[in-house]
Chains A and B, each alone.
Chain A
Amino acid sequence: MSVAERSLSRRDLFRTLGVATGGITLGRWLGPRAVMGQEPVPAKAIETFTGPGANSHWNSVGPYVAEPQKVPLILLTDRPIQLETPRHYFRTTFTPNEAFYVRWHLPGIPNAVDLEAWKLRIEGSVNKPLALGLPELIQKFTPVSLAAVNQCSGNSRSRMQPRVPGGQWGNGAMGNAVWTGVRLRELLDMAGVKRGALQVQFQGLDTGPGPSGLGSNLFLKSIELGNPILDECVVAYLMNGEPLPMLNGFPVRLVVPGYFATYWIKCLTWIRVLNTPDDNFWMKVGYRVPDTPRGDTTPEDVKAGKVKTVPIERLPVRSFLISPDGASKIPVGMSIKLRGIAFSGFGRVNRVDVSDDAGNTWHAAELGEDLGAYSFRTWELSWVPRSPGLHTLAVRATDERGNKQLDEPVWNAGGYLWNKIERQEIVVGNAS
């Protein structure tokens, strides 16, 4: 047999082989194997809790759960329900309703609302108590729409050191939506607030099994009648142009622009004008913050009883890098887009700076469309990593009032008001 014949028959053999194994097996041992690198590492589940150190993940660590009208969200607790929005849903200015985070205080939350029976009541110290059905709210008043961020007071609580008890949120207890409904002021004017009244109290349909008069029975929030924020409040029946999901407060929800979500009563059913200050648990004890800059204090001062508190109000300025999220390596020298969001409850964000050297130097990002003072504002910036290795990106927002995010942490016993500059580690790989 000649050399040529020999090699030919060998080629035939390989052809047979190739057919027999679908060409896959050989491929693994020949050229492509080197290109495709080593065997994949099996995926690992995330830890089931974090602490005593700070939660190092962007979100909290719970499992994904799909509640009614919701895509799978991160479960904090199931009764009352608390669900966190995963990071990637913040790529857009408006957070989809089905991905919007959920936080209830009491276990008795509605599964159903009969709109024939349901009425929004305006009562208490008013000249003419009202009971308005949804059709009246829609038809009798000129609808108003505004974009506003809804953020839980305890968003990012799992960052605090030392850790504090409470919902161990990552950064996803927030969302932005266009809220459409009736101005609260019009409802109050129609009912006629009596002279000498002090506060207006809001109550939803949620209830708890606790004794009457305690915080475990009803969730109630109040705002001073002299507070100008009341002119900006909206009783919303639309969220991003759709009815609200039941878990976000169908049929109507109070929108308090720039204020923390604790005031945004879901399934709002009673608007009650009060003659005396509201001293229920959720005003007098819960949702209070130290009367200090940034609401910051120390465990020692709390223990010593030195901390004077006030009800929590506006959202401090914050910004986030949404992508890249650090889950993937970035080849060195490749120009990529850094994208994120920013907001402030004190005025529109007019500057976002990004650092790729852990906060030593800052570069102004390009801001997205201005959708109003209370909306998320998107930002982006092109970035070319120049060397392989670990890079730390940091993002810092400034609002029109000059409030700027700081690099110092916040601590208070409630785990509220976290707004430290966010960081994200990015692994840059060799490209050759």
Chain B
Amino acid sequence: MKNRCPAIFLVVSSVVVLVVVVYADVKKGYYHPAELGSVRQAAPGELSPDSNYQVSAYLVPGTDLVPGDGSQEVGIYCNACHSTSYITMQPPLPAATWEAEVNKMKGTFGAAIPDDSTKKIILYLQAHYTTENRKP
């Protein structure tokens, strides 16, 4: 009889500790693989024995551009030939390099960007993607 009290106490306290431990493990994030970029497997495609060799559509994950004046023009004109991941992939670049890049798209590659939009795009890139102002 004497021994039962500490027994109950120990059982109860150990259950409490167990709950705390499990909760702590959950808090560590072990159960949130999505945060570490888990990718769902694609289902196998259906194949027919004809002469057409087809794969599913290529993915377009989308890119987070810094919001700001000019981002809309970037979305319209830059996106016509390439996704904006071409911008976010770059290291921070000098302002003059961004200007040269946009001018290359127009002059060398024939991108049909109106002059006022060209200016806006250059200013936008220079405002968010240079060594001085690019944010992680």
Contact = CB atoms under 8 A, between A and B. Distances in A.
- Are the chains A and B members of one assembly? yes
Interface of A: 9, 13, 16-17, 20-22, 24-26, 28, 39-40, 42-43, 45, 47-52, 55, 62-69, 72, 75-81, 107, 109, 111-117, 158, 163, 165, 167-168, 208-211, 214-216, 243, 246-247, 250-251, 281, 285
Interface stretch (B68-76, B77-85, B114-122): B77-85
B17 interface: yes
B60 A78 contact: yes
A24 B21 contact: yes
Chain A interface secondary structure, helix, strand, loop or mixed? Answer: loop
A167 B53 CA distance: 29
A78 B82 CA distance: 8
Interface in B15-74: 15, 17-18, 21, 28-29, 35-37, 39, 41-42, 45, 51-61, 63
Given A16-B10, A80-B82, A210-B81, A111 B39 contact: no
Given A62-B89, A111-B57, A251-B53, A20 B21 contact: no
Given A16-B7, A16-B10, A79-B60, A246 B37 contact: no
B82 A214 contact: no
B39 A65 contact: yes
A21 B52 contact: no
Interface of B: 3, 6-7, 10-11, 14-15, 17-18, 21, 28-29, 35-37, 39, 41-42, 45, 51-61, 63, 80-83, 85-86, 88-93, 97, 101, 108-111, 131, 134, 136
A78 B108 contact: no
B39 A64 contact: yes
Nearest to A66: B39
Contacts, number: 162
Contact of A168 (B11, B56, B59, B90): B90
B59 A49 contact: no
A216 B109 contact: yes
Given A24-B21, A45-B37, A114-B51, A168 B109 contact: no
B108 A115 contact: no
Contact of A40 (B14, B28, B82, B83): B28
B59 A78 contact: yes
B97 A165 contact: yes
A215 B82 CA distance: 13
A111 B89 contact: no
B39 A72 contact: yes
Contact of A64 (B37, B80, B85, B109): B37
Contacts of A76: 85, 89
B43 to A, nearest CB: 12
Contacts of A66: 39, 41-42, 59
Contact of A16 (B11, B37, B61, B88): B11
A267 to B, nearest CB: 11
Nearest to B41: A66
Contact of A43 (B36, B39, B89): B36
Contact of B29 (A21, A42, A63, A168): A42
A77 B111 contact: no
A183 to B, nearest CB: 24
A335 B35 CA distance: 36
Nearest to A250: B53
A62 B52 CA distance: 33
Contacts of A67: 58-59
A250 B7 CA distance: 72
Contacts of B92: 49, 51-52, 163
A209 B37 CA distance: 32
A113 B51 CA distance: 8
A208 B82 CA distance: 9
A55 B7 CA distance: 59
B52 to A, nearest CB: 5
B109 to A, nearest CB: 4
B12 to A, nearest CB: 9
Contacts of B14: 17, 20-21, 25-26
A25 B7 contact: no
Contacts of A16: 7, 10-11
B108 A214 contact: yes
A81 B51 CA distance: 25
A80 B54 CA distance: 18
A8 to B, nearest CB: 11
A178 B17 CA distance: 59
B124 to A, nearest CB: 16
Contacts of B45: 68
A371 B123 CA distance: 52
Nearest to A39: B28
21 contacts: A9-B3, A16-B10, A17-B14, A20-B15, A24-B21, A25-B14, A40-B28, A48-B88, A52-B91, A66-B39, A66-B59, A67-B58, A68-B42, A68-B45, A72-B39, A76-B89, A79-B83, A111-B58, A168-B89, A216-B111, A246-B53
